[in-house]
Every structure is written in C-alpha cells, then in structure tokens.
Structure 1
C-alpha cells in the first residue's frame, strides 16, 4: 500500500508537516507493507490561478505532477493549516489548478484529514471545510482529527504526540485507511 501525505501549507516551519509526517510514520511502522511519500507543496508552487492565466498557461506541468501523485497513491493523508479560518493560499491555489485538470482531484482515494494549530481550536474550521469539500472532489474521507494546542500535545524532540488520548485517536483514524 502506498500512502501519500502532505501538509496543506507552504510554511517551512509547519507544525502540520510535523503532524502529517508523524502520522505517516505511525502507519508505516504499524504495517510493514506500507510505503509513504511525504510531499512538500512548495515543490508544486504555481502562479496565482485565474482564468486568464489558465488561458495563457494551459495545464501547468506541476499541477499535472501533483494530480499524478494523488493518482499513484492508494490513500492520502493531509494535515491542514488554518489561515483566517480557511485554507492556506498556497494549498488553495494548487488545488484550484489541479481541479482544472480534473474536478475529481482526489480520484476516489481513501483519506484521513488532520489539522493542528498552536491554539485550543486545533484548526477545526479549516478541517470542517475540508471534510465537507473533499467528497465533492472524489475524496473518500475515512476519518478526521483536529489536534488542539500543538505544542502542549506534541513532543518536538521525539516527533510524536505526547498526549496518549490524542495518539490513540490518531491511530484509530489511520487504521481506517487499511
């Protein structure tokens, strides 16, 4: 089984990338036949989407490459950063470009959606938006989990959740992909 994982942010200091990396490692260590690929959406940076740019550029190679990565995976794990209650501009822009290749962006893949933030909200707003939206783009959401107060619940030295209750919830969410 091939798992594709990424944080829906372009921050080089992303706590969501730390979370999604931890999740992918948890899944891989639980099942030896699982391989994981952790993408950095900075590798797929595109000009700001508009119809004018689409008419000028067509379907950019990087958008197609990202779409192909999703297509090659058996399942997808995404951890969403929240900017002003919504998606990051970097993720939304990439998503907009990819959706022009095929509106079924997630190609029927089973998905686990995560989100975290430094505060008690745990990026719940963007997670709720992603849960609602993904099925419209052929995403099969199996589970979702918000991790509040990241720095209180995640051990930066070990790169793992330190809160046992949240770690159990994450494990249960990930098992839904199997």
Structure 2
C-alpha cells in the first residue's frame, strides 16, 4: 500500500482542478490517500527579503513534510494565460527554497483541466517540464478539456476521456506496486 498525496495547484475555493483530483482519488482502492485543499494554504508572494526577514512558515514546512512522507503525488494544475497560476508557481518557489529536491523520488500523476478546449494543456506542459528539476518522476499525464461539458455529477461524462483518464491513472498506480 502506497501513501498518495493528492492536491490541485489552485487556491480557489471552487477549483475545477480540485474537483478532478477528488474524482481521481475516489477511483483508487488499496492505497492511503491524503487529499489537500490548497485553498487553505495561503502563502505570501516569494521574495528573498520575505525569506530573510520571516523565514519559512509552519504551513510551508508542513506541506514539504507531507510531500516527503508520500510515496507518490496526484497533482492537477490550473491554467492562467497558458501557464500555471501565480499561486502554484509561488508554492513551487517557496518549496524549492526550503529544499531544492523537495520532489526527489516522487512518482507523479500530473493532470490539468480548464473550461476551454485545450484543457489546461499549456500549464500541463510547463509543469511537466518544471517538476523533474526538483526530483519528480512524471509517470503519466491527463488533460480534461471543456470541464463544464465533460464533467458532471462528480465524474467525467465523455466516454473517450473517461477511458483516457483511467489509463493515465492505471499507469500511475502500476508504478506503485
């Protein structure tokens, strides 16, 4: 049994990426799941002055510990102007200052969704290229386009996308055996 940390890279209380993470974790059996709602993790904008004057917050240290105590991570990143949100990038900046390889040996199912037809593809690509610098192994990816047309009643409604999602999840879970 693996310990899986699940979260969205969004701090919105109505995050569709968080809904995708919740759905994904509902499909997993036989593993210990820890679901984090990042809307409860406020972090100041990173600056060296802030770091020098105040150091690292307890929330940041706890998040880093949660990541390091997990065997694997399910992450769905939101998109702002074809990139990860400033909030998500800020969290990465803080974590990497606390410990550069904070994702060392972490297997990751990386997902993204958006209201648009590209499903957060820009953010997914940027994040997929960024996380290995911090030690992550991206095992599989999934993008859900047009969230409001393809997700309802807490599940993916498009059969083709549901199969794609299940395949990405199964690929991820197979690496945890």
RMSD: 1.1
Task: Return the TM-score normalized by structure 2.
Answer: 0.93
The counterpart of 2:166, out of the listed 153, 157, 171, is 171
Local SS of the residue matching 1:46: coil
Q: Superposed, which structure 2 residues align to 1:68-147 within 5 Å?
A: 68-147=65-144
* Distance in 2 between residues matched to 1:38 and 1:69, nearest whole Å: 10
* Distance in 2 between residues matched to 1:54 and 1:89, nearest whole Å: 18
Local SS of the residue matching 1:118: coil
The farther-off stretch of 163-172 and 124-133 is 163-172
Q: Deviations over 1:125-163 (max 9, x none)?
A: 0000011111111111001111111111111x2x01011
Q: Is the 8 A contact 1:45 1:94 kept in 2?
A: no
Q: Which runs of 4+ in 1 moved over 2 A?
A: none
Unpaired runs of 5+ residues, structure 2, are: none
Task: Return the TM-score normalized by structure 1.
Answer: 0.92
Pairwise CA distance, 1:167: 1.1
Pairwise CA distance, 1:97: 0.8
* 2:47 matched residue in structure 1: 50
